[in-house]
């Protein structure tokens, strides 16, 4: 039994505000946006997080980044955007399915990055 929230979104068991989808990748708007544009990009195959990327599943990750580039054009993020992936407790990862946050639409500070 897969209890993963994002796997349930992929399966259509939980609704999402979809912005992009192909065979390997799904992207949808974050339910609690931290910027005017806040999109989550996830591989359709379950990977726990950035610390679980291996040579065997790395193609799924590459496909996420191709999607990120396409989403940036689709959403007209010509002013730029930030991509973040939290991994593990100290980073504040709350959903244990690899995801990339796309943040845009505001001038971002240099804070942590």
Q: Which residues are known catalytic residues?
A: 99
Tell me the C-alpha distance between 101 and 30, whole Å: 8
Whether the Cβ atoms of residue 83 and residue 28 lie closer than 8 Å to each other: no
Told to check if 92 binds ligand AMP by CB under 6 A, we report yes
Q: If DSSP codes are grouped into helix, strand and coil, which group holds residue 10?
A: helix
Q: CA 57, 94, 102 angle in degrees (round to 5)?
A: 65
Instruction: State yes or no: residue 97 binds ligand AMP (CB under 6 A).
Output: no
Binders of ligand AMP among residues 12 to 71 (CB under 6 A) are 14, 16, 28, 30-32, 40
The entry of ligand AMP, Zn ion, none that residue 30 binds, CB within 5 to 8 Å by partner kind: ligand AMP
In the complex with ligand AMP, which residue's Cβ is closer, 55 or 93?
93
DSSP tag of 32? S
37 and 75 Cβ atoms separated by less than 8 Å = yes
Opening angle at CA 62, ends 78 and 5, nearest 5: 90
Nearer to ligand AMP, 55 or 90 (CB): 90
User: Closest distance between ligand AMP and the C-beta of residue 77, in Å?
Assistant: 18
Interface with ligand AMP (CB under 6 A): 5, 14, 16, 28, 30-32, 40, 86, 92-95
Interface with Zn ion (CB under 5 A): 4, 6-7, 46, 97
């Amino acid at each position: 039994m897969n209890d993963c929230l994002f796997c349930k979104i992929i399966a259509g068991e939980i609704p999402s505000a979809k912005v992009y989808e192909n065979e390997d990748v799904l992207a949808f708007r974050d339910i609690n946006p931290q910027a005017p544009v806040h999109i989550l990009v996830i591989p359709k195959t379950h990977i726990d997080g950035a610390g679980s990327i291996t040579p065997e599943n790395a193609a799924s990750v590459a496909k996420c980044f191709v999607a990120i580039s396409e989403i940036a054009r689709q959403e007209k993020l010509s002013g730029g955007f930030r991509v973040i992936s939290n991994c593990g407790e100290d980073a504040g990862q709350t959903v244990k399915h690899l995801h990339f946050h796309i943040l845009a639409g505001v001038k971002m500070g240099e804070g942590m990055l």
